[in-house]
């Protein structure tokens, strides 16, 4: 089973990477960019019987820093 975990900074947490990309886009002449936020995806290939609880535990223990990050678990087809 393929699972994608989207990890993103919590709203209000400063995103220096996003700011740097934002400046770079403006430097390249792209107008109309109001905000840029950088996040992480962790795509897992796991056994079909892996429980939601186990996936949550992976996120809580390792894949996301829950102090400053949110995570969302998406199960993908195929």
How far apart CA 7 and CA 40 sit, in angstroms, is 5
How far apart CA 74 and CA 78 sit, in angstroms, is 13
Burial class of 15 by CB neighbour count within 10 A (0 to 12, 13 to 18, 19+): middle
State the minimum distance, in angstroms, from the CB of residue 64 to a copy of itself: 12
State the minimum distance, in angstroms, from the CB of residue 52 to a copy of itself: 13
Which residue's CB is nearer to a copy of itself, number 53 or number 67? 53
Interface with a copy of itself (CB under 8 A): 6, 8, 18, 21, 24-25, 28, 30-47, 49-50, 54, 57-58, 61-63
């Amino acid at each position: 089973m393929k699972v994608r975990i989207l990890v993103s900074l919590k709203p209000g947490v400063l995103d220096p990477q996003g700011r740097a990309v934002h400046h770079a886009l403006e430097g390249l002449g792209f107008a109309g960019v109001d905000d840029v936020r950088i996040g992480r995806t962790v795509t897992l290939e796991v056994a079909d019987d892996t429980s939601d609880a186990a996936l949550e535990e992976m996120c809580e223990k390792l894949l996301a820093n829950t102090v400053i990050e949110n995570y969302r678990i998406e199960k993908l087809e195929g």
